[in-house]
Amino acid sequence: MAKTATKAKQEQAVEAAAGKPAAWIEVHGSDERLEAVAPKLVQAAMRAMGLVKRIDELDEELKGLKAELAEGVGAGRSLVVPGVCRVSVAKTTSVGIKDADKLRELLGERFGDLVSESVSYKPSEALIEMSADGDDPMAPAYRALLTVRSGTTVRIMAEK
């Protein structure tokens, strides 16, 4: 049963005051909310959020240390702490093309020799539907030429 946001926040405040973290599972694309959440799952989410916060803090600290090391060691050099670590500092440069059409005009026939091109193909929703259509005699041939990758993504972030 769906609850209003205000009522849910009130209940969350009451539960938090009682020392129990309020939690629920939201169903994507609807207002449905599952209220029965295993305490073990809530604890796992809280521990994961704690780790995310610590990782963010450590990442900021690491950025500062890397900047200090880069400045102190200098490009093309390595700081060696025997038995502990090696810190190598290298200068890197990357060059991209802002306007391929204008560059093609400037280079003319040499464009193909001096620029590498890559092409990426992605099936449209219509082609995906055609490959799943049981009435289309070509569907098996379409499916044979498509790949489907599945995965699970777990993203952890602070609640706003």
The confidence score (pLDDT) of residue 10 equals 64
What is d(CA 158, CA 46) in angstroms, rounded to the nearest whole number? 10
**Alpha helices (runs of H) in the chain, residue ranges in sequence order:** 5-17, 39-73, 100-107, 111-114, 125-132, 139-144
pTM of the full structure:
0.57
The confidence score (pLDDT) of residue 120 equals 83
The confidence score (pLDDT) of residue 6 equals 63
Query: From first to last of its 160 residues, what are the pLDDT tens digits of the chain?
Result: 455 556 656 665 555 556 566 899 999 999 998 888 999 999 999 999 999 999 999 999 999 999 999 999 999 999 999 999 999 999 888 888 999 999 999 999 999 999 998 888 899 999 999 999 999 999 999 999 999 888 877 787 787 7
Long-range CB contact pairs, 128-133, < 8 A, 24+: none
The tokens 């240390």 sit on which residue? 65
The confidence score (pLDDT) of residue 9 equals 60
What is d(CA 17, CA 22) in angstroms, rounded to the nearest whole number? 10
Contact (Cβ atoms closer than 8 angstroms) between residue 90 and residue 75: yes
Q: Check residue 74 and give left, alpha or beta (phi > 0: left; psi -120 to 50: alpha).
A: left
The confidence score (pLDDT) of residue 119 equals 84
User: Which residues are within 8 A (CB) of 65 and not within 5 positions of it... i.e. 6 or more apart?
Assistant: none
Angle 115-118-120 from CA coordinates, rounded to 5°: 160
Hey, which residues does 26 pair with through a beta bridge? 33
Q: DSSP 3-state assignment of 87? A: strand
